[in-house]
């Protein structure tokens, strides 16, 4: 009995020590992020437009805010738009080009939204600073502002990207898919210089947003063509999902990717995965791989942030890393006059 009591005291003291360590780490990280501006990769830097277009970031922010006030779900749309841009040809605004054979019309980009927000911001920026701010940078800034508006972290966005001169729907066919295994996801992220930690952290963007029943129904009624449900789905949640997505029902009906807080940027998404309440198969599979499961557990656990593993902090670091993929800077690419068209059309 005495041994048990002493063990409880030691455990309590140990937990208190961990919490103090976590708080000290977070304070240190906050100080570092304030004192030392975040530098991006590939020639990007924070405050790139401080002289050439001082109001650039505030113009983008106010544009996103105005749309968010009308439709809060646009936050997830803008975040997804930036993600899909960066995974094809790098973060160069290629997803914004219109046209039947352009990237945005690929099957994998079905449902992308937020184009009008980017166009609106670009129009205002052109009126203020003609030919200065790239569409690729507007996308990166809008994604940051969208996350901030739903209660997520904010960060200094390294800017200086230039817009690409190519956009092909065929090149978008290898985007990460809701049907991907962990191995396939890992391969696609690794090809962009992103590791398992980045993978889980960036997929955490699914704490906001929705998907269609068509991407869920097969898990409910005919998983692996067995006529049964995906066994990884919690049984109680399975009943709820079947109510939301009836068999042979409307495949375009929307389902929240985070069943508990679809409009709040938080860690409930990871708790859902841990508890078998993931919506997409690709998300739920992250809990079945030892490497990705470890990251999910630490984000979902009660002592988050141990050894620096804290979702909000890690998410902004992962976003900075992702938004630096294969960027065009200097004299490479162009600064588009209109985000949906290449300059040679003028």
pLDDT in tens, 217-251: 999 999 999 899 999 999 999 999 999 999 999 99
- Residue 121 covered by a domain: yes
Please give the full DSSP string across 96-132, using - where no structure is assigned. Answer: G--STTSGGGSGGGTT---HHHHHHHHHHHHHHSTTT
Range of the domain at 68: 55-209+257-323
Task: Dump pLDDT digits (tens) for 181-211.
Answer: 999 999 999 999 999 999 999 999 999 999 9
Helix 56-70 vs helix 135-149: crossing angle, to nearest 10: 50
Tokens standing for residue 276: 């078998």
* Residue 82 maps to a domain: yes
Instruction: Judge whether 116 lies within some domain.
Output: yes
Cα 202 from Cα 221, distance rounded (Å): 29
Q: Which residues are catalytic?
A: 84
Number of domains the chain is built from = 1
Residues 6+ apart with CB under 8 A from 36: none
Res. 23 pLDDT band, cuts 50 70 90:
very low
Give domain status of residue 287, yes or no.
yes
For residue 193, the Cα-to-chain-centroid distance in whole angstroms is 16
**Strand 254-256 vs strand 210-212: parallel, antiparallel, or unpaired?**
antiparallel
CATH of the domain at 114: 1.10.520.10
Q: Does 197 carry a binding-site annotation?
A: no
Residue 335 maps to a domain: no
* The predicted structure's pLDDT at residue 43: 84
The answer to the question of whether 178 is labelled as a binding residue is no
- Comparing CA positions, the residue from 208, 224, 228, 185 lying closest to residue 272 is 208
Q: Is 119 annotated as a binding residue?
A: no
What's the whole-number mean pLDDT along residues 19-32? 45
Q: Is residue 315 part of a domain?
A: yes
pTM score of the predicted model: 0.85
Domain membership of residue 161 (yes or no) is: yes
Answer yes or no: is 7 within a domain.
no
**120 labelled ligand-binding:** no
Q: How many CB atoms lie within 10 A of CB 301?
A: 15
Q: In this predicted model, what pLDDT tens digit does every residue of 56-82 receive, in sequence order? A: 999 999 999 999 999 999 999 999 999
Q: In the chain, where does DSSP find H-type helix?
A: 2-35, 56-70, 74-86, 115-128, 135-149, 182-190, 196-203, 217-221, 235-244, 268-274, 281-284, 290-300, 311-322
């Amino acid at each position: 009995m005495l041994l048990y009591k002493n063990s409880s005291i030691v455990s309590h003291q140990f937990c208190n020590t961990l919490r103090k360590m976590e708080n000290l780490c977070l304070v240190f990280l906050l100080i570092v992020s304030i004192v030392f501006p975040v530098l991006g990769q590939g020639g990007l830097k924070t405050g790139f437009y401080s002289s050439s277009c001082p109001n650039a970031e505030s113009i983008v922010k106010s544009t996103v805010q105005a749309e968010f006030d009308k439709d809060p779900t646009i936050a997830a749309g803008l975040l997804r738009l930036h993600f899909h841009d960066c995974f094809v040809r790098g973060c160069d605004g290629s997803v914004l080009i219109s046209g039947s054979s352009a990237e945005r019309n690929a099957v994998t980009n079905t449902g992308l939204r937020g184009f009008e927000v980017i166009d609106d911001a670009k129009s205002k920026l052109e009126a203020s600073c003609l030919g200065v701010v790239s569409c690729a940078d507007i996308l990166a800034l809008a994604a940051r502002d969208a996350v901030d508006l739903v209660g997520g972290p904010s960060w200094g966005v390294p800017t200086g990207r230039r817009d690409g001169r190519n956009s092909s729907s065929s090149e978008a066919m290898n985007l990460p898919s809701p049907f991907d295994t962990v191995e396939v996801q890992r391969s696609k992220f690794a090809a962009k210089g992103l590791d398992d930690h980045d993978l889980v952290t960036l997929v955490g963007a699914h704490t906001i947003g929705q998907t269609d029943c068509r991407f869920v129904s097969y898990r409910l009624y005919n998983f692996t063509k067995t006529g049964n449900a995906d066994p990884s789905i919690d049984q109680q949640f399975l009943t709820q999902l079947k109510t939301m997505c009836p068999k042979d029902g409307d495949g375009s009906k929307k389902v929240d990717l985070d069943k508990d807080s679809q409009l709040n940027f938080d860690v409930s998404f990871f708790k859902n995965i841990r508890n078998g309440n993931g919506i997409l198969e690709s998300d739920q599979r992250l809990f079945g791989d030892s490497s990705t499961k470890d990251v999910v557990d630490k984000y979902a656990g009660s002592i988050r942030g141990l050894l620096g593993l804290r979702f909000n902090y890690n998410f902004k670091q992962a976003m900075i890393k992702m938004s630096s993929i294969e960027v065009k800077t200097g004299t490479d690419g162009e600064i588009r006059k209109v985000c949906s068209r290449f300059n040679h059309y003028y």
